[in-house]
Amino acid sequence: MTTRLLIPLTVLAALSTSAALAADDPAACGTIRLSDPGWTDITATNGVAATVLDALGYQADVQTLSVPIGYEAMKGGNIDVFLGNWMPAQKAFRDDLDKSGAAVELVQNLTGAKFTLGVNKAGADLGVTDFSQLDAQRDAFDGKIYGIEPGAPANQSIAKMIADDKHGLGDWELVESGEQAMLAQVTRNDQAGTPTVFLAWAPHPMNVAHQITYLSGGDAEFGPDFGGATVHTLARTGWPEQCPNAARLLTQMTFDVDMENALMGGILNDGQDGRTAAKAWLAANPAPLAGWLDGVTTLDGQPGLAAVEAALK
């Protein structure tokens, strides 16, 4: 654990030394491959990273890959950076990466996140506030827990909970689908007044669109504090040394819950893609750029902040 916590500081120190010698990256670093599991929060943060990288003269290649496939791609050297390492939900994947030495952590990019089961207003009206209260209302919930895409770590936690008959949920069904399909189902059930239990998390505009009660009692499955989580940026081993300028940017790029809620709202509510939402938000909220771009240049060695500010006009 101590070694893992030191990794971001060690990487940043190495990048500071590299930046002092030669701030710009070699041309081979021109394309940076990012993984996106199809979650709106990672689409949003990838959109921010891509917008800034593009303005610096890089080409951000965002590839849509499920969490397991994305991690395998990083292990195989086919993905450079992943901004969506949710912990502790992805601990098994992270442990595998650490064991194989395939990745390093650049930074913890978000604090204040949470990720566990929640119920809609109709579910809360039944008095359900804890995992242990679900099974008594099985018929009202139709015995279904709505999850996200197959293979996601959170789905695996739910499936194991059902397999082990935890909280009396052994005869319940996990309904797997993508984030958008899950939330569409929640919306339909809200409109019908149907009690619904589903994976819920923050940051996400779902917290504005739906009246969500996060359930206590799931510490074993999702961790304490309603699945209190942090999100981390990982890079394939060796990439920060190969591309120190881009790695410096991504090491300094951190977010907050309000920022991500706004970015995700642009995607989900306004139909924008990640880059469009990011460019609009950054144009209106340029303050984070100075910190993100401290000591960062364009790919050809020009001042980075000026280039990004010009691209956002």
Q: The whole model's pTM is what?
A: 0.73
CB 14 within 8 A of CB 240: yes
CATH topology of domain 114-227: D-Maltodextrin-Binding Protein; domain 2 (3.40.190)
For residue 221, give both structure tokens. Answer: 């499955």
The class level of CATH for 2-113+230-312 reads alpha beta
> Of 236, 293, 228, whose CA–CA distance to 106 is shortest?
236
Q: What is the pLDDT of residue 23?
A: 52
Amino acid letter, residue 156: Q
Write down the domain spans for the chain.
2-113+230-312, 114-227
Q: What is the pLDDT of residue 19?
A: 40
Q: What is the pLDDT of residue 5?
A: 37
Q: What is the pLDDT of residue 208?
A: 84
In tens digits, what is the pLDDT along the chain, a chain of 313 residues? 333 333 454 455 445 444 433 457 999 999 999 999 988 899 999 999 999 999 999 999 999 999 999 999 999 999 999 999 998 879 999 999 999 999 999 999 999 899 899 999 999 999 999 999 999 999 999 999 999 999 888 999 999 999 999 999 999 999 999 988 999 999 999 999 999 999 999 998 898 889 999 999 999 999 899 999 899 999 999 999 999 999 999 999 999 988 998 999 999 889 999 999 999 999 999 999 999 999 999 999 999 999 999 999 9
Task: Decide whether 2-113+230-312 matches 114-227 in CATH topology.
Answer: yes
